[in-house]
Amino acid sequence: MVIRTRRSLLQTALGGLGLLGAGLSGPLARAGLPAGTLASAVLDALAGKRPLLKRSYRPPNYESPVSYLNEVITPNDRFFVRWHLADIPTIDVASWRLSIGGDGASRPFELTLAQLQHEFEPVELTAVCQCAGNRRGLSDPHVPGVQWGNGAMGNARWKGARLKDLLARAGLAKEAVEIAFNGADGPVLEATPDFTKSIPAWKALDENTLVAYEMNGEPLPHWNGYPARIIVPGWTATYWMKQVVSIRALAQPLSSFWMNTAYRIPKGKFPVVDRFLSQESETTTPVTEILVNSLITNLEEGQRFRAGSAIVVQGLAWDGGAGLRRVEVSIDGGRSWQSAQFGADLGRYSARAWQYAFTPRARGRVAVAARASNAQGATQTEQLIFNPAGYYNNVIQPISLEVT
């Protein structure tokens, strides 16, 4: 089913033009999506999903409209969808098996879904799942790839077994440097590299790294990795392998296009703390933790308000698990900032709601923006840190409101 609402498309188009912020007097600029992205976007509902913004049909890449992120937990049917390869099987849970082994494990074994659910202590945590390329479409200059806006992310309550418990049963060797994952999905052509990923052994042994079989109290949606996916709280979603069928402990770093070439950033350019030493090269390093970020979720570019009436600005803030310290809101295009009020704390890997209210007295444009900071002293940037693949965009985004 394709639902094309002229209004939504128009709003997307306006929000993406990048020109609307040109009249702002502060230091912030609003970036926009490429014209071709705006023209080809439609609201389309995959089976079991509400309409999402389609970036590509096949493989399916669909992002949440920003308004879907206006609640701190993203419902399963509103959660974004991202696949690299187009052969995505429907999983028969009766025959699905998860194998745990590799040359860094002495006692390889297999699990059914029921065994995964019942033979290991279940753990629940709330964590942001965010594509490393979220906001790629807002890169200036634009860079090739899926042209994501702000919605290649969601925040959910995950339930699963600790990866470290599975690895302990498999007899993990001290020599293991990485834990590699493969999913049931595959390429159309045999020649295309299968999507495989690895994480450092130290991150795999973190008590928060899970093999999840529930999302917000329900089985994972097909499009989000049913029946089980890897959860790497604090790290970008590229490592959160969907439809996982294989977990391998490796004595040598994983060699795969998706590790050696893709999902890399220039070394030293970003304020990341977590390092992935076994995969670092002279010049590049894999993406690791999510950078501190925020999003205004209840306002749209150009929205109109009356002078003298209160405007409530609300949104989400999140980071890689260091812990949020504050969210500040500017109503003058980034020249001055005031603290916003936090909502409930759902844990250090969760997004956190915040809000800020003000009453504009004068008519005209008001440039509203939010910026989050974390316990490591990191904050969002005013200027894009350009990189050729468009990862790690946490630029402060102004929204221009009309007060009449």
Considering the complex, state which of residue 257 and residue 386 has its C-beta at the smaller distance from another protein. Answer: 257
Nearest-angstrom CA–CA distance, 242 and 232: 12
Considering the complex, state which of residue 220 and residue 401 has its C-beta at the smaller distance from another protein. Answer: 220
Q: Is 144 helix (H, G, I), strand (E, B) or coil?
A: coil
Sequence letter at residue 169: R
Q: Residue 64, by phi and psi: left (phi above 0), alpha (psi -120 to 50) or beta? A: beta
> Quick one: which of 6, 7, 94, 404 contacts another protein (CB under 8 A)?
94
34 binds another protein (CB under 8 A): yes
Q: Is 183 helix (H, G, I), strand (E, B) or coil?
A: strand
Report the relative pairing of strands 98-101 and 244-250 from DSSP bridges: parallel
Sequence letter at residue 318: W
Mask for 139-158, x = binds another protein (CB under 8 A): --xx-xxxx-----------
Which span (92-100, 154-162, 305-313, 324-332) binds another protein, by CB under 8 A?
92-100
Which span (52-60, 100-108, 232-240, 291-299) binds another protein, by CB under 8 A?
52-60
For another protein (CB under 8 A), the number of binding residues is: 58
291 close to 376: Cβ distance less than 8 angstroms = no
Strand partners, 227: none
Residue count of the chain, please give it: 404
Nearest-angstrom CA–CA distance, 392 and 404: 36
Q: How many CB atoms lie within 10 A of CB 237?
A: 25
Considering the complex, state which of residue 41 and residue 237 has its C-beta at the smaller distance from another protein. Answer: 41
Cite the beta strand spans of 107-152 per DSSP E. 109-111, 122-130
Mask for 215-244, x = binds another protein (CB under 8 A): ---xx-xxx--xx-----------------
166 close to 247: Cβ distance less than 8 angstroms = yes
Report phi then psi at 396, rounded to 5.
-65, 130
Residues 6+ away with beta carbon under 8 Å from 90? 222
Minimum distance between the CB of residue 256 and another protein, rounded to whole angstroms?
11
194 binds another protein (CB under 8 A): no
> Quick one: which of 12, 16, 32, 37 contacts another protein (CB under 8 A)?
37
> Quick one: which of 47, 174, 268, 361 contacts another protein (CB under 8 A)?
47
Minimum distance between the CB of residue 358 and another protein, rounded to whole angstroms?
36
41 binds another protein (CB under 8 A): yes
Minimum distance between the CB of residue 95 and another protein, rounded to whole angstroms?
5
Binding site for another protein (CB under 8 A): 2, 34-37, 39-42, 44, 47-48, 54-59, 76-77, 85-97, 141-142, 144-147, 184, 186-193, 218-219, 221-223, 226-227, 245, 257, 261
